[in-house]
Structure 1
Amino acid sequence: MKFTNKEVILFDLDGTLIDSAPDLSLAINHMLSALQRPTFDQELIRSWVGNGAQTLVQRGLSGQSEIDQSIAPELFEKSLQLFLNFYKNNLCIETKLYPSVRACLKVLKAKGYRLVIVTNKPFEFIEPILEGLQLTGLFEMLLGGDSLEKRKPDALPLLHVCEKLSVTVEQCLMVGDSKNDILAAKAAKMESIGLTYGYNYGEDIGLHKPEAVFDDFSDIVATLS
Structure 2
Amino acid sequence: MKFTNKEVILFDLDGTLIDSAPDLSLAINHMLSTLKRPTFEQDIIRSWVGNGAQVLVKRGLSGQAEIDQDIDPALFEKSLQIFLEFYKNNLCIDTQLYPSVRACLKILKAKGYRLVIVTNKPFEFIEPILDGLQLTGLFEMLLGGDCLEKRKPDPLPLLHVCEKLSVSVEQCLMVGDSKNDILAAKAANMESIGLTYGYNYGEDIGMHNPEAVFDDFADIVATLS
What code does the residue aligned with 1:192 have? S
Query: Which residue pairs with 2:37 in the alignment?
Result: 37
Deviation digits for residues 118-167 of structure 1, max 9, x if unmatched? 00000000000000000000000000000000000000000000000000
Give 5+ residue unaligned stretches, structure 2. none
Give the alignment's TM-score, normalised by structure 2.
1.00
Residue 206 in structure 1 maps to residue 206 in structure 2:
yes
Residue 216 in structure 1 maps to residue 216 in structure 2:
yes
Query: Which residue pairs with 1:66 in the alignment?
Result: 66
Query: Which residue pairs with 1:98 in the alignment?
Result: 98
- Offset at 1:98? 0.0
Aligned equivalents of 2:154, 2:40: Cα separation in 1: 30
Aligned equivalents of 2:149, 2:67: Cα separation in 1: 22
Give the alignment's TM-score, normalised by structure 1.
1.00
Query: Which residue pairs with 1:187 in the alignment?
Result: 187
Aligned equivalents of 1:5, 1:223: Cα separation in 2: 12
Query: Which residue pairs with 2:84 in the alignment?
Result: 84
Q: Percent identity?
A: 89
Residue 193 of structure 2 aligns to a residue whose secondary structure is strand
C-alpha RMSD of the superposition:
0.2
- Offset at 1:178? 0.2
- Offset at 1:19? 0.0
- Offset at 1:65? 0.1
Residue 57 in structure 1 maps to residue 57 in structure 2:
yes
Aligned equivalents of 1:155, 1:40: Cα separation in 2: 33
Residue 67 of structure 2 aligns to a residue whose secondary structure is coil
Aligned equivalents of 1:167, 1:68: Cα separation in 2: 41
- Offset at 1:32? 0.1
What code does the residue aligned with 1:82 have? I
Aligned equivalents of 1:102, 1:153: Cα separation in 2: 26
What code does the residue aligned with 1:184 have? A
Aligned equivalents of 2:49, 2:158: Cα separation in 1: 21
Query: Which residue pairs with 2:19 in the alignment?
Result: 19
Aligned equivalents of 1:147, 1:111: Cα separation in 2: 29
Aligned equivalents of 1:63, 1:72: Cα separation in 2: 15
- Offset at 1:77? 0.1
Query: Which residue pairs with 1:150 in the alignment?
Result: 150
Stretches of 4+ aligned residues off by more than 4 angstroms: none
Aligned equivalents of 1:106, 1:5: Cα separation in 2: 19
Residue 160 in structure 1 maps to residue 160 in structure 2:
yes
- Offset at 1:112? 0.1
Residue 151 of structure 1 aligns to a residue whose secondary structure is coil
Query: Which residue pairs with 1:128 in the alignment?
Result: 128
Aligned equivalents of 1:130, 1:33: Cα separation in 2: 28
Residue 128 of structure 1 aligns to a residue whose secondary structure is helix
- May I ask how many residue pairs the two structures share in their alignment? 225
Aligned equivalents of 1:135, 1:43: Cα separation in 2: 26
Residue 87 of structure 1 aligns to a residue whose secondary structure is helix
Residue 175 of structure 2 aligns to a residue whose secondary structure is strand
Query: Which residue pairs with 2:115 in the alignment?
Result: 115
What code does the residue aligned with 1:137 have? G
- Offset at 1:215? 0.0
Give 5+ residue unaligned stretches, structure 1. none
What code does the residue aligned with 2:200 have? N
